[in-house]
Structure 1
């Protein structure tokens, strides 16, 4: 369809097929190394994929980061990304990573509600501030958490900052991709699920995007930053698949931003 190429990432990244197995291997090694500091498969809902992993720092946590994975709402789960918790753990924060039901089994609006339930369940298990981040579709989902009334008031009040990474912020262009055969969105849902149409949040937000990403993703990041009057940080030399690598490093600008270090 008209915008299929605009939203195609793998075709423009060298060695794209090697990334998912490499992510999965690194994530498994990371979980194994954490041992008892990794609580796996904690339930936040009744569905098979309504579970999250919770990783703990060595000492009492300063707060909890929630990382929501991407995959165009139709691929992956929490087990591919565990190693990305390393930077925040080293900064003294716990890290929670939820899975969610994938399209077409559920609508994108249903996934948004699942992530709201996941964030609430994480908040019930953890004390202190919450920082939300997510990549691509996950960036969309954490941005959606700032819709007034999406989270219980007591949970929303604990959100210290939100960092959507390469987010999809306006879903209406996706109606002109063949992926919508999987999403099943109509115009009303696409608009309702677009963070660019939400009220400007009163929580600190930084939009993060790779400088070498597809023009459509640079546009999506810019649109959200402009709609919310927040900073859009462009990570030079990074594409859609490696822009998240900085989360591994405790001293990276991205990790320090996320944890308030």
Structure 2
């Protein structure tokens, strides 16, 4: 497959339709299964942990956090902020606590971040909301020993945009120690030529301004922040290309970045399985945080 600019609209839409690449289920069934799996695991996590649901971090209806806390809160604890996917127009924080249980059992808090998905929210608004959620969390919970970003698909894009934040306007500099970016999109321009943009209405300028690949900050004091970029074996070639290019761009700018391809997973179960402690990615995340 050549450069995305050389693809037909139909080829581009196939590349940017993750559900078409799953070997497990057909494209509609795999999305239904994803919603069911994340909903059930989120419900289980809420039953098993101490939770603070619908904590507002801003004035908009979508600007809320669901926080999952360890039972024995020590004086300080790491916080993982999970940013959900859904192509910026689907899913919510309400089905995004599925990764909490393996984390809280190791003394790590998780906050599932809500934001205003399209058509209500515009892309640049979502980016600002997620940045604000990080600033709010570190101001609200003074016991945080370090912040870790975890994002899937469109959520990986938003988490990557947090890494390029100018924190001066937020009045706080979060101690972001790591980012786990799973099956993400880091260059939005190809998206503007697909059905995904029918709801987002992104201009080329908005896409470029909000593409992590186009705004990688040069390394200042960010060596302490480790970035893990993950792709599924059955992600599309375009998703794999974008992950590779963002990884290379981070490394070129001096960041500590690594790239992980997880066998026998597709775009959906690569993140769903974070509800399981013995899953490879869960173990990698735990090791990075507990070593932190």
TM-score by length of 1: 0.92
Structure 2 SS opposite 1:232: strand
Structure 2 SS opposite 1:4: helix
Change (3 A) 1:200 1:89: farther
> Which residue of 105, 117, 131 maps to 1:90?
105
> Which residue of 178, 189, 210 maps to 2:195?
178
Structure 1 SS opposite 2:89: coil
Is residue 2:231 matched to residue 1:214?
no
CA distance in 1, matches of 2:246, 2:287: 18
> Which residue of 64, 68, 75 maps to 1:51?
64
CA distance in 2, matches of 1:154, 1:189: 26
Task: For residue 246 of structure 1, report the CA deviation from its aligned partner.
Answer: 4.2
Question: How many residue pairs were aligned?
Answer: 258
Unaligned runs of 5+ in 2: 1-8, 252-256
1:178-209 deviations in whole A, cap 9, x for unaligned? 11111111111111111011224522211111
1:58-89 deviations in whole A, cap 9, x for unaligned? 22252111010000000010111212112221
Partner of 2:5: none
- Partners of 1:68 and 1:141 within 8 A in 2: yes
> Which residue of 193, 198, 209 maps to 2:210?
193
1:154-191 deviations in whole A, cap 9, x for unaligned? 333x1111111111100011011011111111111111
Partner of 2:176: 159
- Partners of 1:142 and 1:164 within 8 A in 2: yes
- Partners of 1:200 and 1:227 within 8 A in 2: no
Change (3 A) 1:82 1:155: same
TM-score by length of 2: 0.83
- Partners of 2:179 and 2:228 within 8 A in 1: yes
> Which residue of 283, 287, 292 maps to 1:253?
283
Task: For residue 31 of structure 1, report the CA deviation from its aligned partner.
Answer: 0.8
Query: Which stretch of structure 1 is more off in the superposition, 159-168 or 246-255?
Result: 246-255
Larger Rg: 2
CA distance in 1, matches of 2:82, 2:233: 21
Correspondence list, 1:123-142, <5 A: 123-126=138-141, 127=143, 128-142=145-159
- Partners of 1:45 and 1:51 within 8 A in 2: yes
Unaligned runs of 5+ in 1: none
- Partners of 1:88 and 1:255 within 8 A in 2: no
